[in-house]
Structure 1
Amino acid sequence: MAYLAPSEFVVKMVDAGESKIFMSTRDTLIRAYMAGAILALAAVFAVTVTQQTGIPIVGAALFPVGFCMLYLLGFDLLTGVFVLAPLALIDKRPGVTIGGVLRNWGLVFLGNFLGALTVAVMMAIVFTYGFSTPPDKVGAFISGVGERRTVGYAEHGAAGWLTIFIRGVLCNWMVSTGVVGAMISTTVSGKVIAMWMPIMLFFAMTFEHSVVNMFLFPAGLMLGGHFSVWDYFFWNEIPTVLGNLLGGLAFTGLTLYSTHVRTGPKRVVAEQRSLRRVPA
């Protein structure tokens, strides 16, 4: 595949972050809405395949199709802008402010949530024939996921909250690597391959993704899951969002930026300077 060197695609990351901060409210919301909806459909697809085959790795291997679709179409996930938008601020791009970064995050969160919620309502209708019957096998599984990953964590108290947070960190370490993957190639096949690998890993390891959860938990509530809206936000969404922010920015965005844009002084130069100071 046509491959860009790290020094090239990291500059593209900063450029992308800048463009997202200055994007209009309308465009930001529409792109985020579609990203949340497509990723939710991919989650339904992966869960359905897992239930049909009884082999979770098959669902994980196919889930990245949604991620690839939404990024090829130029839509935005919260996990992606967590990484890209701050880089424009750190790079001191003209007009980029903390307020602009927070505005972008807030709009993308809202758009992602509305998109995922729309699909949650649609799929709840499909799984229950318009709420006239109990949920089918896939619906029942999604309902159970909601319980296990809210009240199941709550049983462990602070340790459970910490566990969700760390799962969120690990998730966006991988997901943001997939976001970067879309920038390291100039061909569609190259982008897809580069995105596919880390996304499959995160889903197979059942790490916590804030946008996927925006579908799973509202859908779980509609399908009869025994947990509350409070349980969803406090025992999952909040620690997941915080973990996604730290994981993507610290392990992907800042590491790439610091070593490929604001690089440290080369040792060869330092050694040459020290040799010049030695008297003949």
Structure 2
Amino acid sequence: MSYVKPPELVRSMVDAGEAKVFMSARDTVIRAFMAGAILALAAAFAVTITVQTGEALLGAVLFPVGFCLLYLMGFDLLTGVFTLVPLALLDKRRGVTLRLMLRNWGLVFLGNLAGAITVAVLMAVVFTYGFSTDPNEIGQRIGTIGEGRTVGYADHGAPGMLTLFVRAVLCNWMVSTGVVAAMMSKSVSGKVIGMWMPIMLFFYMGFEHSIVNMYLFPSGLMLGGDFSIMDYLVWNEIPTVIGNLVGGVTFVGLTLYATHGRPGPERPRAGTGKAAADEPSARKPAADETGVPVSVDA
């Protein structure tokens, strides 16, 4: 059968987290670079569909193609390692330390950022004919997205920051669910179906994904968006990274590990254990000297 049951699923999650900790720096950065680049292309693809058709839902329905491709090729997103790597530390796998976990996160962050910015530059060239003209309609929309999701939050002050953080938490709840859902099946079709649904949900709902934003906001700055690098860092990227970490670890990694990796003791079942032995119906009737049972009431 292609379905992987939850206890086996959790073991696979911990194994994956352990493997990522001990991966070489070269492989970690290359895989993260490609993941950031492919996801950035998927974001550009989704925005293009939305602008050209006027249907945001259609863009969200097709956006997961990028996520599925990068996962099937074994590339790594920061949102995914936020969820998987801490489980190897929690499970006390030999050699896994806090320092190595932070090293993995740092390398994946840098790789994702480099990949996303590379695509941002390439797509900016496409949207402006090599920076010789004003951005086309798609480029203008990307600039608008950057403004609304930086300055737009700042205009609301503390409630805006809270909203940004909550959207980031909800985002990686869904994205990490997609990462885990891919492990629920051993077939390519099963993996794709499992990933597609939560990724589509996060994108359409406008939740904040740190790696998608690594493309949208640098791209927006190059395409004339009215916000600054500091706006991007303070009013989007930094709170988004923290929210993604909280969402992935809390609502996906720890919950699955707690209930399927380290489940609590079962309650005694009827007819077994001390509790059942104490019930009157479970006690054997007394017997006289001849061995004939005697009624308890007698």
TM-score if structure 1 supplies the norm length? 0.97
> In the comparison of the two structures, how many residue pairs are matched?
280
Partner of 1:135: 135
Q: Secondary structure at the match of 1:266?
A: coil
Q: Does 1:273 align with 2:274?
A: yes
The question of whether the paired residues in 1 share the 8 Å contact of 2:268 and 2:275 is answered with: no
Q: Counterpart of 1:263 in structure 2: which amino acid?
A: P
Partner of 1:262: 262
Q: Per-residue displacement from partner, 1:66-121 (whole Å, max 9, x unpaired)?
A: 00000000000000000000000000000000111111000000000000000000
Q: Per-residue displacement from partner, 1:174-226 (whole Å, max 9, x unpaired)?
A: 00000001111111000000000000000010100000000000000000111
Q: Secondary structure at the match of 2:131?
A: coil
Using the TM superposition, give the Cα deviation of residue 48 of structure 1 relative to its aligned residue in structure 2, in angstroms.
Answer: 0.4
Q: Aligned residues: percent identity?
A: 69
Partner of 2:69: 69
Q: Secondary structure at the match of 1:251?
A: helix
Partner of 1:116: 116
Q: Per-residue displacement from partner, 1:225-269 (whole Å, max 9, x unpaired)?
A: 110000000000011111100001100000000000100000126
1:67-216 matched pairs, under 5 angstroms: 67-216=67-216
Using the TM superposition, give the Cα deviation of residue 277 of structure 1 relative to its aligned residue in structure 2, in angstroms.
Answer: 6.2
* Inter-partner Cα distance in structure 2 for 1:171 and 1:49: 21
CA-based RMSD: 1.4
Using the TM superposition, give the Cα deviation of residue 278 of structure 1 relative to its aligned residue in structure 2, in angstroms.
Answer: 7.1
* Inter-partner Cα distance in structure 1 for 2:3 and 2:61: 24
Partner of 2:296: none
**Larger RCO, structures 1/2 (Cα 8 Å, 6+ apart):** 1
Using the TM superposition, give the Cα deviation of residue 9 of structure 1 relative to its aligned residue in structure 2, in angstroms.
Answer: 1.1
Unaligned runs of 5+ in 2: 284-298
Unaligned runs of 5+ in 1: none
* Inter-partner Cα distance in structure 2 for 1:40 and 1:141: 15
Q: Counterpart of 1:191 in structure 2: which amino acid?
A: K
Q: Secondary structure at the match of 2:179?
A: helix
TM-score if structure 2 supplies the norm length? 0.92
Q: Secondary structure at the match of 2:268?
A: helix
Partner of 2:218: 218
* Inter-partner Cα distance in structure 1 for 2:102 and 2:211: 17
Greater helix share, 1 or 2? 1
The question of whether the paired residues in 1 share the 8 Å contact of 2:79 and 2:244 is answered with: yes
